[in-house]
């Protein structure tokens, strides 16, 4: 110890170096995390003609969900979402938009399956079935997933030949890509991501979704 | 390898660890999504039931761990006290035990791999390995602990 007292300059330098390192690490984290998604963070509030909607037929309150049928967090959100669909059925328009993430290898196929079912008027039916059976088809090879989806469609009494053909169509691929492109443009990077009237919700728990909708109902019915 | 060399390496490793854990912690609280290179399972891991302990994200504990590693390394470089050598070994081992648990969870329970978590696992494994190398070289530690 006594040998170091003559080196107080070195000691000050040492600790300043330590503080600089911590500050530098903090700065790097700041730069890496600034501007959460690299997009505007706001979503055009209007509905598109071919959006998948449920709930109120017309309302000032629009709830948009960016989701991926193969994402475990989206599955975890299902019980909460389904109780919201019921509770706010008369006051809120619920919109489902696709954001199939690349790490989920059947996610895009599942999105296409939902679009093919939508062509026969059963988007929400297959939406529920895809989530309910997610563990069965998540991560299996693409061709097996495809036949699994056709089987699901059959279970929903869809016309399976047409369903399988629609799943191959460029039109539906473009429809899914449109949602995903918009998500990228506004800076949605993960799923599920929720918007109420174009404003992204920062939710820590699914209860926060309900709170946000209650507030939305309160403000939209206020004079 | 001397404890001094270990401390110097620790400074560099803790610096990387602070960035890694800091990034995830800030993302956790800001609600933004992490970009996930190579492994692709980050959101699955970071939103899993195992991603927080007592209300705080695991990454926050990681951040404190790396802060402690950095502090110990500087304390040692400054004072060369013997008790810090023992503390370095204990801290390294504690970090490594948590690492084993979290890697086990990722591979066998969550079945998804998070890139940032594996970077942290690599860092903490290197941290304990260095401390062990210094420990083995400077045995017996029993005498040293009693000073």
Report domain extents, chain A: 2-33, 52-221
> At residue A82, does pLDDT exceed 60?
yes
Q: What is the CATH number of the domain that holds B57?
A: 1.20.1440.130
Q: What 3 state SS string does B119-132 have? A: HHHHHHHHHHHHHH
The ipTM assigned to this model is 0.73
Mean pLDDT of chain A: 86
> Is residue B146 included in any domain, yes or no?
no
Residue-level pLDDT at A218 = 83
| Nearest alpha carbon to residue A200 among A110, A66, A105 | A66
Residue-level pLDDT at B32 = 59
| CA dist., res. A137 & res. A52, Å (int) | 23
> At residue A106, does pLDDT exceed 60?
yes
Average pLDDT over residues B97-101: 93
In the structure, what pLDDT confidence band is assigned to residue A37 with cuts at 50, 70 and 90? very low
- From B15, B30, B79, residue closest to A33, measured CB to CB: B30
pLDDT digits (tens, 9 = 90+) for B115-131: 899 999 999 999 999 99
Evaluate whether B102 touches B112 at the Cβ level (below 8 Å).
no
> At residue A36, does pLDDT exceed 50?
no
Evaluate whether B7 touches B77 at the Cβ level (below 8 Å).
yes
> At residue A44, does pLDDT exceed 50?
yes
> At residue B29, does pLDDT exceed 50?
yes
> At residue A103, does pLDDT exceed 80?
no
Q: How many domains does chain B have?
A: 1
Q: Is A5 on the interface with B (CB under 8 A)?
A: no
pLDDT digits (tens, 9 = 90+) for A129-152: 999 999 999 989 999 999 999 999
More confident residue, B96 or A222: B96
Report B:24-43 residues touching A (Cβ under 8 A): 26-27, 30-36, 40-41, 43
> Is residue B28 included in any domain, yes or no?
yes
> Is residue B145 included in any domain, yes or no?
no
In the structure, what pLDDT confidence band is assigned to residue B16 with cuts at 50, 70 and 90? very high
> B59 to chain A, minimum CA–CA distance in Å?
13
Domain ranges, residue B105: 3-139
Token duo for residue B84:
């810090």
> B13 to chain A, minimum CA–CA distance in Å?
11
Residue-level pLDDT at B33 = 61
More confident residue, B146 or B31: B31
Residue-level pLDDT at A38 = 43
| CA dist., res. B6 & res. B80, Å (int) | 12
In the structure, what pLDDT confidence band is assigned to residue A67 with cuts at 50, 70 and 90? very high
pLDDT digits (tens, 9 = 90+) for A146-176: 999 999 999 999 999 999 999 999 999 999 9
- From A15, A29, A36, residue closest to B32, measured CB to CB: A36
The architecture (CATH level 2) of A52-221 comes to 3-Layer(aba) Sandwich (3.40)
> B109 to chain A, minimum CA–CA distance in Å?
13
In the structure, what pLDDT confidence band is assigned to residue B144 with cuts at 50, 70 and 90? low
In the structure, what pLDDT confidence band is assigned to residue A42 with cuts at 50, 70 and 90? low
pLDDT digits (tens, 9 = 90+) for B56-83: 889 999 999 999 999 999 999 888 888 9
> Is residue B37 included in any domain, yes or no?
yes
> Is residue B144 included in any domain, yes or no?
no
> At residue B45, does pLDDT exceed 80?
yes
> Between the CA of residue A176 and those of A116, A164, A222, B6, B35, what are the distances in Å?
11, 16, 36, 53, 21
Residue-level pLDDT at A2 = 46
């Amino acid at each position: 110890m006594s040998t170091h007292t003559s080196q107080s300059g070195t000691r000050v330098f040492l600790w300043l170096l330590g503080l600089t390192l911590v500050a530098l690490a903090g700065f790097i984290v700041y730069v890496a995390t600034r501007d959460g998604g690299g997009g505007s963070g706001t979503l055009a509030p209007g509905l598109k003609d071919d959006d998948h909607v449920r709930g109120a037929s017309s309302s000032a309150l629009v709830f948009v969900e960016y989701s991926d049928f193969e994402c475990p967090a989206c599955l975890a959100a299902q019980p909460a979402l389904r109780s919201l669909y019921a509770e706010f059925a008369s006051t809120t328009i619920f919109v489902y938009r696709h954001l199939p993430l690349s790490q989920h290898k059947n996610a895009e196929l599942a999105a296409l399956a939902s679009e093919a079912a939508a062509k026969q008027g059963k988007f929400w039916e297959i939406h529920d079935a895809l989530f309910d059976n997610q563990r069965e088809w998540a991560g299996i090879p693409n061709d097996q997933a495809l036949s699994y989806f056709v089987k699901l469609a059959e279970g929903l009494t869809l016309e399976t030949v047409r369903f399988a053909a629609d799943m191959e169509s460029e039109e539906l691929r473009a429809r899914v890509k449109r949602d995903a492109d918009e998500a990228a443009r506004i800076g949605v990077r993960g799923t599920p991501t929720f918007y109420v009237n174009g404003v992204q919700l920062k939710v820590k728990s699914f209860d926060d979704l309900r709170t946000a909708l209650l507030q939305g109902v309160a403000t939209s019915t206020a004079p | 390898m001397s404890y001094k060399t270990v401390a110097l390496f620790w400074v560099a490793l803790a610096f990387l660890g602070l960035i890694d854990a800091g990034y995830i912690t800030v993302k956790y609280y800001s609600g933004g999504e992490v970009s996930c290179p190579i492994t692709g399972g980050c959101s699955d891991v970071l939103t899993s039931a195992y991603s927080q302990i007592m209300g705080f994200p695991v990454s926050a504990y990681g951040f404190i761990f790396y802060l402690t590693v950095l502090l110990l390394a500087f304390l040692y470089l400054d004072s060369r006290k013997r008790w810090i050598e023992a503390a370095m070994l204990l801290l390294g081992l504690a970090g490594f035990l948590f690492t084993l648990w979290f890697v086990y969870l990722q591979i066998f329970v969550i079945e998804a791999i998070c890139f940032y978590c594996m970077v942290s696992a690599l860092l903490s494994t290197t941290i304990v390995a260095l401390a062990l190398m210094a420990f083995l070289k400077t045995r017996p530690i029993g005498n040293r602990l009693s000073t």
